[in-house]
Amino acid sequence: MTRRPTRVFVALGLLGITLLALNLRTAVSSFSPIAHIVGEEIPLSPIALGVIGMLPPLVFALAGIITPVLSRRLSLEAIVVASLAVMVAGFALRSLATSAWTIGLGTVIALLGMGIGNVLMPAIVKARFPKHIGPLSSFYVIVIAVSAFLPPLFAAQLAEGQGWRISLAFWGAVAACSVIPWIILWATDRNSSAIGSRSKAAAPSPARSRTAWTIVALFGVCSLGSYALFAWLPQLLVEFKGLDPIAANLQLSLYAILGVPAALIAPAIVTNGRFIRPAAIAGVLLWAGGFLVILLGPASAVTWGVAMTGLGQLLFPMSLTLIGVRAATVAGAARLSSFVQGWAYMIAATGPLIVSILQSLTGSWTPALVFLVVVTLAALPAALLVDRPNDYEAGVTAPAERKA
Kindly state whether residue 76 falls inside one of the protein's structural domains: yes
Q: Dump pLDDT digits (tens) for 72-126.
A: 888 889 999 999 999 999 999 999 999 989 999 999 999 999 999 999 998 899 8
Q: For residue 386, what pLDDT is reported? A: 94
CATH code where residue 125 lies: 1.20.1250.20
- Which of 188, 223, 257 terminates a domain? The answer is 188
| Same-domain check for residues 241 and 113 | no
Residue 93 and residue 148 in one domain: yes
Position 68 scores a pLDDT of 87
- Report pLDDT for 27: 86
Q: Judge whether 403 lies within some domain.
A: no
Q: Mean pLDDT across the stretch 53-74?
A: 88
Percentage above 70 pLDDT, the chain: 92
Q: Residue 18: left if φ>0, alpha if ψ -120 to 50, beta else—which one? A: alpha
Res 149: pLDDT: 74
Q: Which residues of 257-294 are buried (b: 16+ CB within 10 A; e: fewer)?
A: ebbbebbbbbbbbbbeeeebeebbbbbbbbbbbbbbbb
Residue 398 pLDDT exceeds 60: no
pLDDT confidence of residue 225: 93
Alpha helices (H) in 163-244, listed in sequence order = 164-188, 210-241
H/E stretch holding 263: helix 259-272
Query: Can you tell me the distance from the alpha carbon of 314 to that of 32, in angstroms, rounded to the nearest whole number?
Result: 26
> 145 and 24: one domain?
yes
| pLDDT range class, residue 37, cuts 50, 70, 90 | confident
Do 217 and 183 sit in the same domain of this protein?
Answer: no
Q: Which of 123, 158, 188 is the last residue of a domain?
A: 188
For the chain, how many helices (H) and strands (E)?
17, 0
One domain, residues 35 and 183 = yes
pLDDT at position 400 over 60: no
Q: What is the pTM of this model?
A: 0.83
Count of the separate structural domains present in the chain: 2
Per-residue pLDDT, 396: 63
User: Are residue 30 and residue 155 in the same domain, yes or no?
Assistant: yes
Higher-confidence residue of 54 and 103: namely 103
Residue 194 forms part of a structural domain: no
In a domain, 400, yes or no: no
Question: What is the pLDDT, as a whole number, of residue 62?
Answer: 93
In this structure, the number of other CB atoms found within 10 A of the CB of residue 207 comes to 10
* Residue 271 confidence (pLDDT): 87
Q: Say yes or no: 112 and 68 in one domain.
A: yes
pLDDT in tens, 279-336: 999 999 999 999 999 999 999 999 999 999 999 999 999 999 999 889 888 888 889 9
Mean pLDDT of the chain: 87
Give me the percent of the chain exceeding a pLDDT of 90: 49
Q: Please indicate, yes or no, if residue 394 is contained in any of the structural domains.
A: no
Cα distances (angstroms) measured from residue 258 to each of 70, 149, 262, 310: 34, 12, 7, 5
Q: Is the pLDDT of residue 3 over 60?
A: no
pLDDT score recorded for residue 191: 54
pLDDT digits 0-9 by tens, 119-171 = 999 889 988 888 888 889 889 988 988 887 788 777 778 888 899 999 999 99
134 and 17, same structural domain?
yes
- Most confident residue range from 120-124, 250-254, 298-302, 357-361: 298-302
Average pLDDT over residues 178-192: 83
Residues 235 and 162 in one domain: no
Judge whether residue 403 has pLDDT over 50: no
Q: Exposure of 47 by Cβ count < 10 A (0-12 exposed, 13-18 middle, 19+ buried)?
A: exposed
Least confident of 190-194, 219-223, 252-256: 190-194
What is the residue range of 89's domain? 6-188
Over range 24-47, report the average pLDDT. 83
Residue 381 is inside which H or E element, if any? helix 380-385
In this structure, the answer to whether residues 16 and 155 fall within a common structural domain is yes
84 domain residue, yes or no: yes
Does residue 211 sit in the same domain as residue 166?
Answer: no
Is residue 22 pLDDT above 50, yes or no? yes
Co-location of 10 and 133 in the same domain: yes
Domain contains 36: yes
Q: One-letter amino acid identity for 189?
A: D
The answer as to whether 391 is a domain residue is: no
- Contact indicator for 38, 103 with CB cutoff of 8 Å: yes
State the pLDDT at residue 158. 86
pLDDT over 80 at 395, yes or no? no
pLDDT per position as a tens digit, 315-327: 999 999 999 889 8
